[in-house]
Amino acid sequence: QGAPTPVTGFMAAGVKAAAFLALVRFYYMIAGAMGWDLAPALWAVAALTMLLGTVVGVVQRDVKRMLAYSAIAHAGFMLIGILAYSKAAISALSFYALTYGIATVGAFGIITLVRSNRDGSVGGEDGDLEAFKGLGRRSPWAAGAMTVFLLSFAGVPLTAGFMAKFRLFAAGLSGSGMPFVILAVVCSAVTAFFYMRLIVLMFFHEPAGERSVVVASRGPILLAVGVAVIATIGLGVLPQTAFDLFDQTAMLLP
């Protein structure tokens, strides 16, 4: 929670994507060549991360912490793509990493704009849920963009997150991961609760006095959020080009 938001966003998106790409290469090329059976251990890790991220995330009162624990749950979902052990699964995993990373960058960009207000003086970031009450009235564009990202995290249709989860879970079902896909669907439904809770606070609650303000967006943040919104909706409505690209990339695997 105390980490700078750009660092948190980078850790949640960029580092995770790089780590999973490295894990794919290790699992498919090194562990496979050595004859190591890591699947039981990785399935256990997948289940634990899904449960930990979901259970702990649902009780958080700080938006940044909520998204951080959500990232843990998403890591568990992504492990399904590795363990399904097919080119279709790796293609789905790559698409998932892309869409999740885009939404994460956008969401943390919005968080940087919500600041504490102390006697008329703008302070540091205020990530408490109370600070987001009435955001739809104070800054409709920020609340609207945040809603797009939250709906994508939840896997709501017409967002990139829905297409990513659908492809990933379908790939998991084609392997031996049905119990874990069922667990992932249940955890997705639970995590959707805390995403929807934030949306309700932004649009259906009065602002919590003058405790927070939305600062004017600086150019880089506005650009990043805008691109993330367009990409999240675009990849949800017209994902085929990305599918084809990742399918071709997955064909390079042994």
DSSP symbols for 108-161: HHHHTTEEEEETTEEEEE--BGGGGTTHHHH-HHHHHHHHHHHHHHHT-TTSHH
Separation of alpha carbons 119 and 99, rounded Å: 40
pTM assigned to the model: 0.87
Q: Helices 63-83 and 178-204 sit at what angle, rounded to 10 degrees?
A: 160
Contact 75, 49 (CB under 8 A): yes
Provide the CB-side half-sphere exposure for 167 (13 A, CA). 27
pLDDT at residue 36, rounded to an integer? 58
| CA angle in degrees (0–180, nearest 5) for 19-101-240 | 110
127 vs 135: CA distance, rounded Å = 12
Ramachandran category for residue 85: left, alpha or beta (phi over 0 → left; psi -120 to 50 → alpha): left
207-238 per-position pLDDT tens digit: 866 767 777 766 788 888 999 999 999 999 99
pLDDT tens, residue by residue, 13-46: 666 666 766 676 666 666 555 555 777 888 899 9
Mean pLDDT by 10 residues, the chain (254 residues): 51 63 67 64 92 94 91 91 85 92 91 77 75 91 96 97 96 84 96 94 85 74 92 97 91 64
Give helix 219-237 / helix 140-154 axis angle, nearest 10°.
40
Rounded Cα distance between 94 and 58, Å, is 27
Query: How far is it, in rounded angstroms, from Cα 157 to Cα 92?
Result: 17
pLDDT of residue 117: 74
**148-181: b (≥16 Cβ within 10 Å) or e:** bbbbbbbbbeebbbbbbbebbbebbeebebeebb
